């Protein structure tokens, strides 16, 4: 293994990132070592906005994905099924409330 902090980030892993990531994760996403990422930040040429939170750098995931050319997150079938089930429960509840009023 080289100086990177792990293998490059894959699509599935990228879509499961939290709202912001640490610099090592962002460096993995761009395929560079953390040392190079720090140099780019110091030069002001890191490919996306970087926040300084306390003594750490944080990169908002939305900016990271956009810099990687990923504009939209995929919709998973599981999410669609959960949304449909939730909507059905709301419809049932709404129908019961109407019946109680009549």
Domains in the chain: boundaries: 1-71, 73-102
The CATH number assigned to the domain with range 1-71 reads 1.10.10
pLDDT in tens, 22-32: 999 999 999 99
pLDDT in tens, 90-100: 777 777 766 66
Measured CA distances, 61 to 11, 31, 90, 98 (Å): 13, 16, 32, 44
Q: What is the pLDDT of residue 36?
A: 95
Q: Which candidate, 4, 70, 1, 57, places its Cα nearest to that of 46? A: 57
What is the model's pTM? Answer: 0.60
pLDDT in tens, 48-88: 999 999 999 999 988 998 998 887 655 555 666 766 777 77
């Amino acid at each position: 293994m080289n100086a990177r902090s792990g293998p490059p980030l894959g699509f599935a892993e990228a879509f499961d990132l939290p709202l912001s990531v640490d610099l090592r994760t962002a460096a993995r996403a761009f395929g560079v070592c953390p040392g190079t990422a720090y140099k780019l930040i110091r030069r002001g040429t890191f490919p996306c906005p970087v926040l300084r939170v306390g003594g750490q750098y944080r990169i908002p995931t939305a900016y990271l994905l956009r810099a990687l050319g990923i504009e939209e997150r995929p919709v998973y079938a599981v999410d669609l099924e959960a949304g449909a089930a939730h909507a059905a429960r709301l419809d049932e509840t709404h129908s019961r409330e109407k019946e109680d009023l009549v």
